[in-house]
Amino acid sequence: MSEQGMKPIWYFVGLIVLVIGGLVFCSGIYLFFNPPAVKTVLAEMHPNLWWGGLMIIFGGGLYLKMRNQTR
């Protein structure tokens, strides 16, 4: 029976950033189709979509890079 090593911490960091980015991106999609009653300048730029997308890319990259690495 082969013993598999532990995953590095960056595996879990990537997974957490990926999940949180997905939640932020989903809230941005919701706010895009259901805008709030009070308009602000920054809300018109849809920062939830931008930051959620960046977090998904960064977290997904960390997750995929560290997925097969063991220590």
Residue 7 has pLDDT above 90, yes or no: no
Mean pLDDT (the chain) is 90
* CA–CA distance, 25 with 39 (Å, rounded to integer): 19
* CA–CA distance, 45 with 30 (Å, rounded to integer): 14
| pLDDT tier for residue 71 given thresholds of 50, 70 and 90 | low
The residue among 46, 55, 47 whose CA lies nearest residue 21 is 55
Domain ranges of the chain: 26-71
